Chain A
Amino acid sequence: MTERNTPAAQVRVQLPYHLRNLAKVDGEVTLAVSPPVSVTSILDALEARYPVLAGTIRDHQTKQRRAFLRFFACEEDLSLDSPDNSLPEAVAEGREPLLIIGAIAGG
Chain B
Amino acid sequence: MSSVRVLVGTRKGAFILTADASRKSWQVSGPHFAGWEIYHMKGSPVDPNRVYASQSSGWFGQVLQRSDDGGRTWNPPAGEPIPTPGPTPPTASNNFAYDTSASSGAPLTTHQWYDGTQHPWEFKRVWHIEPSPTDANTVYAGIEDAALFRSTNGGQSWQELSGLRGHGTGPKWQPGAGGMCLHTVILDPANPDRIYIAISAAGAFRTDDGGKTWKPINKGLVSNFMPNPTAEVGHCVHHVAMHPARPNTLFMQKHWDVMRSDDAGDNWREVSGNLPTDFGFVIDVHAHQPETIYVVPIKSDSEHFPLDGKLQVYRSRTGGNEWEALTKGLPQANCFVNVLRDAMAVDTLDDCGIYFGTTGGQVYCSPDGGDTWSAIVHDLPAVLSVEVQTLP
Give the interface centre of A31, A56, A57 by most chain B CB atoms within 10 Å: A56
For residue A93, which residues in chain B have a CB less than 8 angstroms away from its CB?
none
CB distance from B158 to the nearest CB of A (A): 11
From known contacts A23-B81, A61-B97, infer whether A51 and B61 are also in contact, taking CB-CB under 8 Å: no
Query: Is A90 in contact with chain B by the CB < 8 A criterion?
Result: no
A55 to B81, CA, bound (A): 14
B residues 284-323 touching A (CB-CB < 8 Å) = none
For residue A19, which residues in chain B have a CB less than 8 angstroms away from its CB?
60
For residue B76, which residues in chain A have a CB less than 8 angstroms away from its CB?
51-52
* Residue contact A51 to B85, C-beta cutoff 8 Å: no
CB distance from A54 to the nearest CB of B (A): 5
CB distance from B79 to the nearest CB of A (A): 4
* Residue contact B95 to A106, C-beta cutoff 8 Å: no
> How many inter-chain contacts with C-beta < 8 Å in the A-B complex?
78
Interface size of A in residues (CB-CB distance below 8 Å):
32
CB distance from A16 to the nearest CB of B (A): 8
A59 to B96, CA, bound (A): 11
Query: Is A60 in contact with chain B by the CB < 8 A criterion?
Result: yes
For residue B94, which residues in chain A have a CB less than 8 angstroms away from its CB?
54-56, 60
From known contacts A54-B95, A55-B95, A60-B92, infer whether A102 and B59 are also in contact, taking CB-CB under 8 Å: yes
Nearest opposing residue in chain A for B11, CB measure: A107
CB distance from B232 to the nearest CB of A (A): 31
CB distance from B77 to the nearest CB of A (A): 10
A42 to B172, CA, bound (A): 42
Query: Is B82 in contact with chain A by the CB < 8 A criterion?
Result: yes
Query: Is A69 in contact with chain B by the CB < 8 A criterion?
Result: yes
* Residue contact B81 to A25, C-beta cutoff 8 Å: yes
B residues 85-117 touching A (CB-CB < 8 Å) = 85-89, 92, 94-95, 97
A90 to B79, CA, bound (A): 31
A95 to B210, CA, bound (A): 56
CB distance from B83 to the nearest CB of A (A): 9
From known contacts A18-B35, A48-B87, A60-B97, infer whether A69 and B79 are also in contact, taking CB-CB under 8 Å: no
For residue A48, which residues in chain B have a CB less than 8 angstroms away from its CB?
85-88
Interface size of B in residues (CB-CB distance below 8 Å):
25
For residue B61, which residues in chain A have a CB less than 8 angstroms away from its CB?
55-56, 59, 66
From known contacts A47-B88, A48-B87, A60-B95, infer whether A18 and B60 are also in contact, taking CB-CB under 8 Å: yes
Query: Is B78 in contact with chain A by the CB < 8 A criterion?
Result: yes
Nearest opposing residue in chain B for A55, CB measure: B94
CB distance from A73 to the nearest CB of B (A): 20
From known contacts A18-B35, A18-B36, infer whether A51 and B60 are also in contact, taking CB-CB under 8 Å: no
CB distance from B167 to the nearest CB of A (A): 24
For residue A24, which residues in chain B have a CB less than 8 angstroms away from its CB?
81
From known contacts A18-B36, A45-B85, A47-B88, infer whether A52 and B80 are also in contact, taking CB-CB under 8 Å: yes
* Residue contact B63 to A22, C-beta cutoff 8 Å: yes
Query: Is B227 in contact with chain A by the CB < 8 A criterion?
Result: no
Nearest opposing residue in chain B for A107, CB measure: B11
Among candidates A51, A56, A102, A106, residue contacting B89 with C-beta atoms closer than 8 Å: A51
Q: Interface 1/0s, chain A 31-73, versus B by CB < 8 A? A: 1100000000000110111111111110111000010110000
For residue A31, which residues in chain B have a CB less than 8 angstroms away from its CB?
85
Query: Is A103 in contact with chain B by the CB < 8 A criterion?
Result: yes
CB distance from B291 to the nearest CB of A (A): 42
From known contacts A54-B92, A55-B94, infer whether A68 and B58 are also in contact, taking CB-CB under 8 Å: yes
A18 to B12, CA, bound (A): 12
Nearest opposing residue in chain B for A51, CB measure: B79
Name 6 interchain pairs, CB-CB below 8 A, sorted by A.
Answer: A24-B81, A47-B88, A50-B81, A51-B89, A54-B92, A54-B94
Q: Which residues of B contact A (CB under 8 A)?
A: 35-36, 57-63, 76, 78-82, 84-89, 92, 94-95, 97
Q: Which residues of A contact B (CB under 8 A)?
A: 16-19, 22-25, 31-32, 44-45, 47-57, 59-61, 66, 68-69, 102-103, 106
Across the A-B interface, give the 4 residue pairs with the lowest CB-CB distance, nearest first.
Answer: A52-B79, A56-B60, A68-B59, A51-B79
